[in-house]
Chains A and B, each alone.
Chain A
């Protein structure tokens, strides 16, 4: 245990207890204050304060738990009956009872695949450079601050960037490719941050041992550091991909369709995704469409849960393999 002297100044300053203090001064007034604290400990009141504090923190925890249960319960209640193979395998329709999510589901999967192809190499590459190669220069610090900022930029702003750069300047149109590029930019900072965290956990000894045996820096990274960090990187990548699956606003900006009667076949085709379809149905006043939206949400949450379960499974497999 660290002694009081080890503590930084700013911290020990804040350690003043109103009930009894260790700093026994000589002055009369201070002494009086201390004796008051010692002789009137007010145990009942302090016990009560402790109880109230406990209840408040418990209450705030319950807010989170209850909202999750309430949210899932109401969505399942509204949409569960509507989920069927027919719902998954038919195209959207003007008639609510016949509307399905085939185009949206295929579009979502297609988009996620493309995003993975674009964002993973870029993100992991950047993380490897920043953790393994970059010297602590001004440029690197600039990139650090920059990534922290990018992670906080509202998603709709990425949509505007995508609209101008990919839809207009690169002339991809409102295509899957434009959507995938925009989404990749959005999740890039998240991938970089999580991949860097994973690389940080690799013990220094792994690198030193490889270098000591005559490996080049890149060889050490490729053959030893990356495989060791793989479970962490993989989890981060999958979690950020699941963010891309659920994100709506940027795709709304670049003009993903809300009505699609065909399945996209090439990256240059028009597309729609599940969240956009859900958004479109929820925004309509008719109850039938709201029910369809709830059913769509169930499918979306199902996909997300499966993806996350895959992440956990993959991490476990990797960890078993890595035991040496």
Chain B
């Protein structure tokens, strides 16, 4: 029995190995035809047209634009919710806000995409007619709302873990609630808070459906959030829904893009993992 259970646990390592092997094996074939340097530094992404060009920077730029937008919206408000839950919300309010956040976290991403496309974009267009039908801003906003519950609940945990005694010490010295929160609680919970931020960024980075629906599919090197862009994930989704023959250069290119995606998210996740570990050892 123990061996069977051990096999289950080992299976996880197998999944990781599988992901890396699958991505590597196809990406290597891709890089035989397109030099790695051209891929990383090229500024034109045109896999469908002649002459084909595989410079990944426009996709990275689109991803960056949306991740930044989502971070600007989701991170501060997530932290704000965490602080509000701990410092101001009475118990009855807490018992309303928590389930609401859970519902928000449980809404499928394709629903957020629909919301961005049919509600947020028309709103933006009413404010300024120059906004395109597909635009990065609406995608960034819904991804921001999407990561908010995650940031909020992780920040809440981190802030709750701060020992009561040091907060009380702050109050005893005559500090106000705001001063204790910003100068005692937040610094003590910092590694947990930062970890939640990193996880949220990593999630926004790998988000697919909302971005595919709302941000469009025009790989473009732009920082204007009201234009249509394409992200790394949206490109993969686009190729996989089209009828691309297996073995073509386009088909292989999604594995190279996937590899890039995996490396970046892996980096973020490892960072967050070690920060959380540190924060556990500090507070326990």
Residues of chain A touching chain B, judged by Cβ–Cβ distance below 8 Å, are: 1-4, 7-8, 10-12, 14-22, 41, 46-47, 49-50, 52-54, 56-61, 63-65, 67-68, 70-71, 74-75, 78, 121-123, 125-126, 128-130, 133-134, 142-143, 145-161, 163-165, 168, 185, 188-189, 192, 217-218, 239, 242-243, 245-249, 252-253, 255, 275, 278-279, 282-283, 290, 293-294, 297, 300-301, 304, 308
Q: Report A-chain residues with C-beta under 8 Å of the C-beta of B246.
A: 168
- Measured in the bound complex, the distance between the Cα atoms of B207 and A15 in whole Å is 38
Q: Report A-chain residues with C-beta under 8 Å of the C-beta of B78.
A: 60
Instruction: Report whether B9 and A278 are in contact in the complex, using a CB–CB cutoff of 8 Å.
Output: no
Q: Report A-chain residues with C-beta under 8 Å of the C-beta of B258.
A: 156-157, 160
Instruction: Report whether A154 and B261 are in contact in the complex, using a CB–CB cutoff of 8 Å.
Output: yes
Given A153-B206, A157-B261, the answer on whether A56 and B18 have CB atoms closer than 8 Å is no
Q: Report A-chain residues with C-beta under 8 Å of the C-beta of B23.
A: 157, 160
Instruction: Report whether B119 and A74 are in contact in the complex, using a CB–CB cutoff of 8 Å.
Output: yes
Q: Which of A19, A59, A152, A308 contacts B199 (CB 8 A)?
A: A152
Q: Which of A65, A142, A157, A247 contacts B108 (CB 8 A)?
A: A247
- Measured in the bound complex, the distance between the Cα atoms of B118 and A293 in whole Å is 11
Besides the contacts A2-B163, A282-B117, what 17 more A-B pairs have beta carbons closer than 8 Å? A1-B165, A4-B169, A16-B183, A46-B176, A61-B85, A64-B149, A64-B152, A71-B107, A123-B8, A143-B12, A150-B15, A160-B19, A164-B22, A275-B110, A278-B110, A301-B107, A304-B106
With both beta carbons as reference points, the residue of chain B lying nearest to A58 in the complex is identified as B84
| Residues in B150-186 with C-beta less than 8 Å from chain A | 152, 163-166, 168-170, 173-179, 181-184
Instruction: Report whether B80 and A301 are in contact in the complex, using a CB–CB cutoff of 8 Å.
Output: no
Given A57-B88, A64-B81, the answer on whether A275 and B108 have CB atoms closer than 8 Å is yes
Instruction: Report whether A157 and B182 are in contact in the complex, using a CB–CB cutoff of 8 Å.
Output: no
Q: Report B-chain residues with C-beta under 8 Å of the C-beta of A121.
A: 8
Q: Which of A4, A185, A290, A308 contacts B15 (CB 8 A)?
A: A185
Q: Report B-chain residues with C-beta under 8 Å of the C-beta of A155.
A: 206, 208
Instruction: Report whether B145 and A61 are in contact in the complex, using a CB–CB cutoff of 8 Å.
Output: no
Instruction: Report whether B240 and A15 are in contact in the complex, using a CB–CB cutoff of 8 Å.
Output: no
User: What number of A-B contacts does a CB cutoff of 8 Å give?
Assistant: 302
Q: Report A-chain residues with C-beta under 8 Å of the C-beta of B261.
A: 154, 156-157
Q: Report B-chain residues with C-beta under 8 Å of the C-beta of A248.
A: 108-110, 208-209
Name, among B114, B254, B268, the residue most crowded by chain A CB atoms within 10 Å (CB to CB): B114
Given A20-B173, A67-B104, the answer on whether A129 and B8 have CB atoms closer than 8 Å is yes
Number of interface residues of B (CB under 8 A): 104
Query: Closest Cβ of chain A: how far from B100's Cβ, in Å?
Result: 6
- Interface presence of B237 (CB below 8 A): yes
Instruction: Report whether B12 and A65 are in contact in the complex, using a CB–CB cutoff of 8 Å.
Output: no
Given A157-B258, A282-B110, the answer on whether A61 and B208 have CB atoms closer than 8 Å is no
Query: Closest Cβ of chain B: how far from A77's Cβ, in Å?
Result: 10
- Measured in the bound complex, the distance between the Cα atoms of B237 and A163 in whole Å is 13
Q: Which of B5, B188, B236, B265 contacts A253 (CB 8 A)?
A: B236
Instruction: Report whether A149 and B270 are in contact in the complex, using a CB–CB cutoff of 8 Å.
Output: yes
With both beta carbons as reference points, the residue of chain A lying nearest to B17 in the complex is identified as A146
Instruction: Report whether A145 and B5 are in contact in the complex, using a CB–CB cutoff of 8 Å.
Output: no
Q: Report A-chain residues with C-beta under 8 Å of the C-beta of B209.
A: 248-249, 275, 279
Q: Which of A161, A189, A253 contacts B12 (CB 8 A)?
A: A189
Q: Which of B111, B199, B255 contacts A300 (CB 8 A)?
A: B111
Q: Report B-chain residues with C-beta under 8 Å of the C-beta of A293.
A: 114
| Residues in B198-213 with C-beta less than 8 Å from chain A | 199, 202-203, 205-209, 212-213
- Measured in the bound complex, the distance between the Cα atoms of B5 and A25 in whole Å is 60
- Interface presence of B113 (CB below 8 A): yes
Q: Report B-chain residues with C-beta under 8 Å of the C-beta of A21.
A: 173
- Interface presence of B37 (CB below 8 A): no
Given A64-B81, A159-B240, the answer on whether A53 and B97 have CB atoms closer than 8 Å is no
Q: Which of A46, A75, A153, A282 contacts B179 (CB 8 A)?
A: A46
Q: Report A-chain residues with C-beta under 8 Å of the C-beta of B65.
A: none
- Measured in the bound complex, the distance between the Cα atoms of B97 and A21 in whole Å is 36
